[in-house]
Amino acid sequence: MNKTVSIISASFNDEDHILATYESIQAQTFTDWEWIVTDDCSNDKTYELIKRISDNDPRVNISRNPANFGSAVSRNNSISRASGAYLAFIDSDDLWHPEKLERQLAFMGENISFTFTAYDLIDKTGNSLGKTVDLNQSGLFTYEDMLRKKATLGCSTVILRSETFPKLEMPMLRTGQDYATWLGLLRTGEVAYVLPEILTSYRILPGSISRNKVKKAKRQWQIYREVEGLRFFKSLECFLFYAWRAVFRK
């Protein structure tokens, strides 16, 4: 029976971190995986690094866009080449803890199709920022829950059962396409279960959208109105929940 995990990544100018990301995948206690990376026309040495990795590890499958199309196109390119029973996602500067895949697959068992975990934050050099996300969450999350951002649901923590989502494709957004994707999956009636264990370290880089609250808020509103097609007052209601949680969430 196919139990392979297809690990989906998009890379762009990640020469300082992508080797560490690969090493965190290579260190997994669950070893039946393939890492599918699409480089978004990096202009540093990222592609050369992943090419070298691929030459030495047959589980690594790489491709390169002819131009910089954005992470949605790159992730979809990677998804289209996946063959595993599960899809996992990791950004090309984040890190997995060694038991991440093993612990999360055991949690999913035979019945859960969509799961995510808690994570902690690190800086560009890998030092802890002393902050954890989704660690105090429990249970399951619906479409309405995630419209209101009751959980953060970090992309690099997600695992999906492939047969449940056979036509997965991320929307063509330059940023926030992962959140929009999760909403699309949950809109069908599926639910996302949280495993409240820190199994991923999310790297915060200077100048990233994760540091820019105004851009994040604009992206959130765009997804409500243009992607989900919510009416104005429904969008406003959800946005107020999102803003409150962004300010007061610990």
Q: What is the pLDDT of residue 162?
A: 97
pTM reported for the whole predicted model: 0.94
Average pLDDT over residues 34-49: 97
Q: What is the pLDDT of residue 30?
A: 98
**CATH number given to 5-206:** 3.90.550.10
Enter the tokens of residue 243: 């803003």
Residue 238: enclosing H or E segment and its boundaries? helix 232-248
Cα separation of 83 and 179, whole Å? 23
Q: Is the pLDDT of residue 105 over 90?
A: yes
Share of the chain above pLDDT 70, in %: 96
In 3D space, the residue among 122, 139, 153, 143 whose CA is nearest the CA of residue 189 turns out to be 143
- Which pLDDT tens digit goes with each residue over 158-210? 999 999 999 999 998 888 999 999 999 999 999 999 999 999 999 998 766 55
Cα separation of 59 and 81, whole Å? 13
The pLDDT confidence band at residue 223, using thresholds 50, 70 and 90, is very high
Q: Is the pLDDT of residue 229 over 80?
A: yes
Average pLDDT over residues 114-119: 98
